[in-house]
Structure 1
Amino acid sequence: MKTKLTKQLETTLYHYCLDQGAYVVEEVSMPAKKGIVDTLSYEVAANGDVVWRCFELKVTKADFHSKAKLSFIGHYNYFVLPRELYDAVRDEIPAHVGVLIYQPFDARAKALAPHPLRTPGFLTLVKKAQAQALQVDETALTHHFVGSLFREVDKAKRVKKGLQLYSDDQLFKELRKRAQVGYDVYTPEHNLYDRFSAELEDQAVTALQTELDARNAECQALKLQLAKLHAPDLGERL
């Protein structure tokens, strides 16, 4: 699970890369079993060359010293760290790896911002990355990059479409699962099933009342028509 701080770094880095004119995606599996990079950016330089940048996000010493493989296979590679962590591990960072420091916006900065802030903080480049040759086949890397982009687009479409993607059976199973968590007999309105059932009942009553009102209106209209038809006969008898 990603921590709140990790998500803040991830969001800020995403927009940082966009501002640099790069295409960016998180959690990209590398070709040739080179691990999974936290963030990968694809940038086209002024001369037309493609520049790949890999970013590894770390928020604690334990995270920094993790045995997980560092996928620094790009032309430029960076650690993205909070200030406190950078101060603690700066001597352990390889010479060719750059460092971006994350700092959150304080309450005053948020209050003075003329527009809502897109990110929870900002990044500062404190150590430049040294260029290296790409460590994997570029065609294979491009395929992995596109595949990860598709994954994110697919996730966004699923979120937009919401529950309509799920079958009735799936929704019913989820409803039953949540209802089994614990039934509150004293406050039924706190129970998901009761709330759902009550809303359905209200909708049914409203629909029936609407139908009844329509039938009554139709009945009254027919009575008026019948009254008009019989009115001449009544005049002749008088």
Structure 2
Amino acid sequence: MKTKLTLSMEQTLYYYCREAGAFAVEEVTMPDDQGIVDTLSYQELPSGDIEWRCYELKVTKSDFHSKAKLSFVGHYNYFVLPLDLYQEVADEIPAGIGVLIYRPFAEELLATATETPVAPGYLTVMRPPRHQDLQVPASQLTTRFIASQAREVGKAKQTATGLKQYSTDRLYQELKKRHQHYDIYDPEANFYEQFIEDTQSTAVTALQTEVDALNLELHTLQDQLKERS
């Protein structure tokens, strides 16, 4: 489960890559036991060459020291870190690996912003990366990049479809799983009461709309009868 900070950094990095003219996708599995790249970006340069960048996101010191393989297989490779973590581990970062520092936007600045930012924070380059040859074949990077994008499109389609993709029986079973959280002393906290209230409200609104339409039609007919008489 990703922490709120990780999700904020991930979202900020996505738009950071997009602003640079690159395409980015998260959690790309590498071939040959090369691990999983947290974020992989692809960019076609004016020369026609393709540039790959790999980003590893770390939010705590224990996370930084995790035994999970660091998939620095791109032309340029980065750690993306909060400032306080960078200050703790700066001496442990290998030569050639770049560092992007994540900073959240201050709430007081957000309150005065004329436009809502697309990301919760911003990134600054603390250490530039050094170019290296790809550590895996470019064709495999492309294939896995496309596969990961297809996975994200699938997730988006499921979200857009919403509950329509589930059968009534499946929804009923999911509701039953939540019965242990039922609180008779706090009805407003119960999903079932919220569902019934919303359903009744929708039904009342629909009926009222129908009644209003019938009243309008009746009024129109009465006017027409008066004119004829």
TM-score by length of 2: 0.83
Match of residue 117 from structure 2: 117
For 1:118, the aligned partner's letter is: V
After superposition, the CA RMSD in angstroms is 2.7
Higher radius of gyration, 1 or 2: 1
Return the offset for 1:79.
0.3
For 2:126, the aligned partner's letter is: V
Assess if the C-alpha contact under 8 Å between 1:179 and 1:191 holds in 2.
Answer: no
The C-alpha deviation readout for 1:74-126, integer Å capped at 9, x for no partner, is 01000001111111111111111001111111133323422111111111111
Match of residue 41 from structure 1: 41
Assess if the C-alpha contact under 8 Å between 1:179 and 1:192 holds in 2.
Answer: no
CA distance in structure 2 between the partners assigned to 1:196 and 1:127 by the alignment: 52
Residues 201 and 21 from structure 1, CA distance in 2 versus in 1: closer, same or farther, beyond 3 angstroms?
closer
Assess if the C-alpha contact under 8 Å between 2:82 and 2:101 holds in 1.
Answer: yes
- Paired residue secondary structure (1:180): helix
Match of residue 191 from structure 2: 192
TM-score by length of 1: 0.80
CA distance in structure 2 between the partners assigned to 1:159 and 1:97 by the alignment: 36
Match of residue 158 from structure 2: 158
> Structure 1 residue 170 and structure 2 residue 170: aligned?
yes
Match of residue 128 from structure 2: 128
For 1:72, the aligned partner's letter is: F
CA distance in structure 2 between the partners assigned to 1:126 and 1:100 by the alignment: 6
After TM superposition, the structure 1 = structure 2 runs for residues 11-30 of structure 1, keeping only pairs within 5 Å, are 11-30=11-30
Residues 172 and 51 from structure 1, CA distance in 2 versus in 1: closer, same or farther, beyond 3 angstroms?
same
CA distance in structure 2 between the partners assigned to 1:201 and 1:15 by the alignment: 41
Return the offset for 1:182.
3.4
How many residues align? The count is 214
After TM superposition, the structure 1 = structure 2 runs for residues 1-238 of structure 1, keeping only pairs within 5 Å, are 1-184=1-184, 186=185, 188=187, 190-196=189-195, 203=203
- Paired residue secondary structure (2:124): strand
- Paired residue secondary structure (2:67): coil
- Paired residue secondary structure (1:63): helix
CA distance in structure 2 between the partners assigned to 1:128 and 1:199 by the alignment: 53
The C-alpha deviation readout for 1:3-34, integer Å capped at 9, x for no partner, is 11111111111100000000100111111121
Assess if the C-alpha contact under 8 Å between 2:181 and 2:190 holds in 1.
Answer: no
Q: Which runs of 5+ in 1 are unaligned?
A: 215-238
Moved >2 Å (runs of 4+): 111-114, 179-183, 186-204
Q: Percent identity?
A: 53
